[in-house]
Structure 1
Amino acid sequence: MSSTDQPVLLAAVSVMSAFLLGFQARRVGWSRMKHKIMPPAVNGPPEFERTFRAHQNGVEFFPMFLVVLWASGLFCNEALAALAGLVYIVGREIYFTGYSNSSRGRLPGFYLIIVVLLTLTVTAAGGIILSLLDKYLNIKLFSRSK
């Protein structure tokens, strides 16, 4: 694979999202220190519990995000998938910050995250279906230049 064929945008967004997840884990640690909650305890004041849950939700969604990001980028359009990935990262931060402040505060970020995940899922599925039709049935519904 030549350097021009490498999915550098997908890799960059993946690394950025991993760094965000790591930074949010650090923020959970700061909340632990603030509220004097020693691991492995995960309950305490509502502010800590919301911060902890905000991070856990990010951890829970991370595999799905990476799969649909890469599938969409490889089988549909790398630049559009990467752009959606950046919007996902912003949505994750809005979700985390909002949820840390109040339960209802998570909703704007949550809605943005869901829209991005659905978009990536649809574009990934569409790209995969078109590739399967082309590769195994020699059916080309759209001409794709490479």
Structure 2
Amino acid sequence: MIMAKLTALVTVAAILYIFFLTGRVGALRGKTGVAAPATTGDPIFERAFRVHMNSLEQLVVFLPVLWLSVSVIGDAWSGLIGTVWLAGRIVYASAYMKDPAKRSAGMLITMAATMTLAVVSLIGIGRAFLAT
């Protein structure tokens, strides 16, 4: 039985979001004629590719601190902050596809959520060391 249901749901949603971005990159390869392994050649494809890669880069940091935070602040708070992270990624992607220069708000939302989870996790780890 999964105890951290909301955090698990956010995890699956984040992974499904990455699958969505993967599909968009693949579809745009065909539409724009950017054949693999090329990653340049059409501005729309390049934007989609960067959104996908940046989201993967962020996911690698996000998932560990998301799950570490559950033992410190619980499932509801971790799940809520994880939802904010996912919303930030969506804002980032939407803005980046329209105008890469306007991606900052989404990136700030994403980073704030990740940093919050990281700080909470560090506090929990520190408390665990002090308790022993």
TM-score category, normalised to shorter length: over 0.9
5 Å-filtered alignment, 1:37-76, equals 37-76=34-73
The answer as to 2:100 corresponding to 1:103 is: yes
> 1:45, CA displacement in angstroms?
1.6
> 1:75, CA displacement in angstroms?
2.7
> 1:107, CA displacement in angstroms?
1.2
What's the counterpart of residue 11 of structure 1? Answer: 8
- What is the identity percentage for the equivalent residue pairs of Structure 1 and Structure 2? 33
What's the counterpart of residue 117 of structure 2? Answer: 120
Query: Runs in 1 of length 4+ with deviation above 6 angstroms?
Result: none
> 1:132, CA displacement in angstroms?
2.2
Quick one: which of 22, 34, 38 aligns to 2:19? Answer: 22
> 1:44, CA displacement in angstroms?
1.1
Q: Which structure 2 residue ranges, 5 or more long, are not aligned?
A: none
TM-score (structure 1 length as normaliser): 0.84
**Is the CA contact 2:34–2:42 (under 8 Å) kept in the aligned structure 1?**
no
Q: Which has the higher helix share?
A: 2
> 1:46, CA displacement in angstroms?
1.6
Tell me the amino acid that sits aligned with residue 89 of structure 2.
Answer: R
Q: Distance in 1 between matches of 2:29 and 2:110?
A: 26
**Higher RCO (CA 8 Å, separation ≥ 6 residues):** 2
Q: Distance in 1 between matches of 2:99 and 2:31?
A: 17
